[in-house]
Amino acid sequence: MRQRPPSTRTITVGEMVLEVETWTGPAPRIAPILAVRGLAEGESVIRPQTEALVPLADVVSVRIAGLSTPGVLPQRHGLDDLADGLCAVLDELGLTRVNLCGISHAGEIAYRLAVRHPERLERVVLTGVTGQRRDLLPPGTGAAEMAELMQGPRGRETADYVISAMLCQDPALPVRGRAAMRWALDELVGHVGMTQINLWLRCLELLQDVPERAGVAAPLLAVTGEHDVPCPPADCRALAALSPGSVFATISESDHFVFLTRAGEHLDLTRRFLLDEPLEDLPYVAALERFPHLVACAPS
């Protein structure tokens, strides 16, 4: 059955502008799914995710102007402000409780929503999220200087640094789609304009000022690629260990771009968790650990 096009609207919360798309499921089985979109989530991510999840629930997709779509996000707005803005979107849409999904830097915003507004959530899926500071810029380089470097004679060198900070390039480690992702990032960095560069730098700036980590009350799945570089599995596991009832998992032969290179497996794991189905013995899962109780000193 062909999926109906989404309804779209723009919701303004103070100085934040949020673009909202809602896909209506034919026969919802669970609470609506709120997907916080990141800069890397284009149609190639959204379409298969919608097709996989809309049979379960209505899917609400949110992009934030100045972060994941062109626009202006005032510099003073951090992760907690954005999390509160998402909560205001739920109020505007009349959604009391939702399931929550977020990937990479968008997942960091989703995580703060889960920490600050636990009463609004049924289940939470965070992919490539650590809940702690990450600095992917070259040492001693600010955002403005980085933008100049990417447009100047050192653009290729700077791009290589960025790509190496995101991709697992160790040839001894198996990563599906590594060559294709390297080519895609080379093309993207080589032809991207200043608007996209500024959005990407704003995302990185968000990750430089991160509140202290805390547990999540709702059932949580913290998942990443087994060879993730910017979100090491140990850090992802440590985040899960803060929340009783959480699950930590890694997907085999993948890195930070697991949602692209192993999209089918990532979506299957997400669907199973949202439906509270068994996660054990899945052929694509490299590691799986449940935390029925709070771990006082989680390794990082």
| Phi, psi for residue 22 in degrees, rounded to 5 | -125, 120
* Token representation of residue 27: 């026969």
C-alpha separations of 242 from 80, 114, 209, 292 in Å:
19, 13, 20, 11
Q: pLDDT by residue (tens digit) across 95-115?
A: 999 999 999 999 999 999 999
Q: What percent of the chain has pLDDT over 90?
A: 65
* Separation CA 118–CA 114 (nearest Å): 5
- pLDDT for position 54: 95
Residue 298 has pLDDT above 50, yes or no: no
Q: How far apart are the first and last CA of the chain?
A: 45
- pLDDT for position 95: 98
Which amino acid does the sequence have at 167? L
Local confidence band at 251 (pLDDT 50, 70, 90 cut-offs): very high
C-alpha separations of 143 from 152, 154, 166, 203, 298 in Å:
14, 15, 17, 10, 32
- The residue assigned the tokens 């990407």 is 200
Residue 140 has pLDDT above 80, yes or no: no
Look up residue 211 and give its DSSP letter: P
Q: pLDDT by residue (tens digit) across 80-90?
A: 999 999 999 99
Any bridge partners for residue 9, and if so which? 20
Cβ-based neighbours of 164, under 8 Å, separated by 6 or more: none
Cβ-based neighbours of 32, under 8 Å, separated by 6 or more: 57, 58, 59, 60, 95, 98, 99
- pLDDT for position 11: 97
- pLDDT for position 184: 79
Within 94-242, residue ranges assigned H as helices are 104-116, 143-151, 155-166, 178-191, 194-206, 233-240
* Separation CA 155–CA 161 (nearest Å): 10
Local confidence band at 288 (pLDDT 50, 70, 90 cut-offs): very high
- pLDDT for position 135: 72
pTM of the predicted model over 0.85: yes
Q: pLDDT by residue (tens digit) across 161-199?
A: 777 888 998 999 999 999 998 887 777 666 666 777 778
Residue 224 has pLDDT above 70, yes or no: yes
- CB of 65 closer than 8 Å to CB of 18: yes
Local confidence band at 129 (pLDDT 50, 70, 90 cut-offs): very high
Over range 236-261, report the average pLDDT: 96
Residue 282 has pLDDT above 50, yes or no: yes
